[in-house]
Structure 1
């Protein structure tokens, strides 16, 4: 995420900063659904219990759920911007990681009409934003299952006292579903924590009139089909994705498409602003991706793109997978490829390599900030060393009081996480040298591709590759509350 700036500093608005699977189809682990029901002959000897109502993240105890691992979501929704009414069916393919008598999904506000598990009607109750599903029979650890949830209602945003508003936002020409650290649960049932990544198919239907109403989501555009008065836009993200990176934008946009290195490119800019610097800036994402690929290794996804929106509630840019979303505010002063570099870098660091817990957000933002500095150097705007020195000299006392490796919920998207996070990356580079440094980044992107990671794992990798003890360096830069000594210039 990148937060917009006012007067040269970041500022915050309301937010800081397939085919339907039915009973009898194969289960998530490739076994027939009848077997996936979790009812082997030995089931009577097992002890079934409800799955946890959270993923175990100390920063957000209620986010996500335990007891299962999702492989794939098929999300089918119909949305009418005139009435703000949404009707949906979501199919969840998952594997139980414990013997489950019940399990939870996150779903905010919308009304659940029916639930089946492996084609059999299941019980369901609501506790706040938790949907508790009780299958007709227990689900056995290691076996796959398929849950289908039908729901409807008027979707609404989530409000977090520390972080602001995120999720489904009704707009003058459609809707935007976006936000960090959560947003997906406002429009489909989901295990809403980055530790449970999955692949996705989105089938989003809107009225076919006006004809210029468009629906944009993640991954590869699979086509637009008409049926009656509705137009269905299909998108597929075949690489595992954290739920907060899922997005949908509905409205009127200028769309440009092409191919790059055999992959589809889909860019969209709101027609609320005339063509100009925002169009040119997101078009540069391909140049940026190619440059970063030379440093970090192969681009990790099957599509490229970007979306520019104009809404006073979206005052940030977010690295939504394959297709970051940008506020028009970033381009009011002209072209801005630095923000594009930041969000494109997240495709490696944050999206392909995702957080295991939100405390480690610096791994996303520090590495993306440093990639932004590298791009500025590559394009002759400034050297990385000069950028570091400027940040080091001008950082506020609050930056040094806030440890980016343990910022706390209120400071999750603070300047310390971004700028001190980036300075931490530079301090590592100076300590280990360029050869080891860039090997660390490429190895991190390769070894953790499509997975989750922690700060401890990053430190261990850096020590393994550099053959240096780096504990004191990371302790000072990530966890200290005083300004560390500046590393020597490169």
Structure 2
């Protein structure tokens, strides 16, 4: 064995060379957007968050929110700086315990420069101290924070998080959550997941919530106000917590008559979609003036207007179906919205069938016949509708029509196997329309490219041969309106585009 002798100068040079990659390797800023073409500035590059710990204090009388957010993350590249999506006023940022410099830019960017650059693959803890009045903040000309007479609510799609906590605000970065909120005694704070504890001291009550399964940022919710809370369990043993504003007026009875059926409906949906994916369930109705509902994870948000004409179980079916399609399996890009909305709408069709008020096929026939070929309805492509049509009614109704066409093409056995298998295959992850097509082809053993193209991607009404092949519109005949149609259409208020109102079905 020969031992090489290294001169002292050469040894020093070798040590220096070893040190260079760690300290002088090029670092670059993380991208200010995650790369979604619909919303280029949403989300951020360079890191992945695994957990959010939010400790908040909120004063309903003034809409003042102060908080400390701790983000547990890991870098995905060498970073000289990185961004969070956030709108409130920041007092201090620490990265791995050391104070970091920060500044704001763009519509909602918080740019952070850590004291020491971060290496790729390194664990990182970010602490942000902040305060502000959420209702006073706007991005892109609107606010996603709903001020109420007794508090405030964060619930919106595709964005809401930036108004109450700093985040990587895109569905691709899912994380678990602990949300602890201090509010004046007599006021409740509602969030996702399980209520771990409450404690009162010196006129304030702290509510501690935990979501222990991955959750996207737009599905995280906070509602502070004066609520009546009901609790129970489903037949399968899932705890249910529902909350109703004390100021719902004439809508109160219809809201309760609908949402108190949450456990029953979730159990029924397991027959189609497989086991419920979370350990908590419920819904809440604050006294907001919005018109939409939203599938905030484990605890959907419902506007009082959903119950203006009486009970509305169909909208509860829709939002609970999202717990599998949209929440458990989340979209990769916002263009994949069909996987969320087409299947949630189709669940309403299945409920209609369950209630004996019209089969899914009858509803498909009715939708097809109700829109002539020159109706703009057919110009919206559910498989890639564009940001301006992301929540257009066609994404829902034409989207559900595509689901029925798939069912007819591959048969019930393969179809219902797909309904259950899809949430299992991509549980707590993300997937695209292309992923769904591949999975459907794998399960059914059939090529489906032409069917998906016809029903999801062509900006025109599928012609008679395609429709007949999908068992839709079997010749020129009058198609009667299914009895459930008015109930299903009553949820369509959630799909409007009322100008400044943003959110699910309103953006």
Moved more, 76-85 or 236-245: 76-85
Task: Give TM-score scaled by structure 1 length.
Answer: 0.88
Deviations 1:62-104 (A, max 9, x none): 0000110000000111111112211110000000010111110
Alignment of 1:43-442 (within 5 A): 43-108=22-87, 110-128=88-106, 129-156=108-135, 165-208=142-185, 211=186, 213-260=187-234, 261-274=236-249, 275-312=252-289, 314-395=290-371, 397-442=375-420
- Given the alignment, which residue of 462, 465, 471 partners 1:488? 471
Judge conservation of contact 2:225–2:286 (CA < 8 Å) in 1.
Answer: no
CA contact (8 A) 2:56 2:181 kept: yes
Relative to its length, the structure with more strand (as a share) is 1
How far apart are the structure 1 equivalents of 2:37 and 2:255? 38
| 1:446-457 mapped onto 2 (5 Å cutoff) | 446-457=424-435
| Aligned position for 2:10 | none
**Superposition RMSD on alpha carbons, in Å?**
1.7
SS at match of 1:276: helix
Q: Provide the C-alpha distance between the structure 1 equivalents of 2:160 and 2:248, rounded to a whole number of angstroms.
A: 26
Distance in 1, Cα, partners of 2:131 & 2:305: 33
Aligned residue in 2 for 1:20: none
Which deviations, in whole Å up to 9, do the C-alpha atoms of 1:248-297 show, x marking residues without a partner?
A: 11111221012233332100112223541210211111111111101111
Question: Contact (CA 8 Å) 1:91, 1:148: kept in 2 or not?
Answer: yes
CA apart distance, 1:141: 1.2
Normalising by structure 2, report the TM-score: 0.85
Structure 1 residue matching 2:180: 3-state secondary structure: strand
Asked if the contact 1:281/1:337 (under 8 Å) is kept, the reply is yes
Q: Which moved more, 1:260-269 or 1:112-121?
A: 260-269
Taking the aligned partners of 2:445 and 2:81, their CA distance within structure 1 comes to: 47
Aligned length: 444
Name structure 1 gaps, 5 residues minimum: 1-39
Unaligned runs of 5+ residues in structure 2 are 1-18, 475-507
Deviation at 1:159, TM superposition (A): 5.7
Q: Distance in 1 between matches of 2:263 and 2:90?
A: 41
Higher helix share: 2
Shift of 1:166: 4.7
Give a deviation string over 1:83-129, Cα, whole Å, max 9, x none.
Answer: 22111100000000101111100001x11100111111111111131
| Structure 1 position 225, deviation (Å) | 1.1
Higher gyration radius (CA): 2
* Alignment partner, residue 11 of structure 1: none
Cα distance in 1 for partners of 2:326, 2:26 equals 37
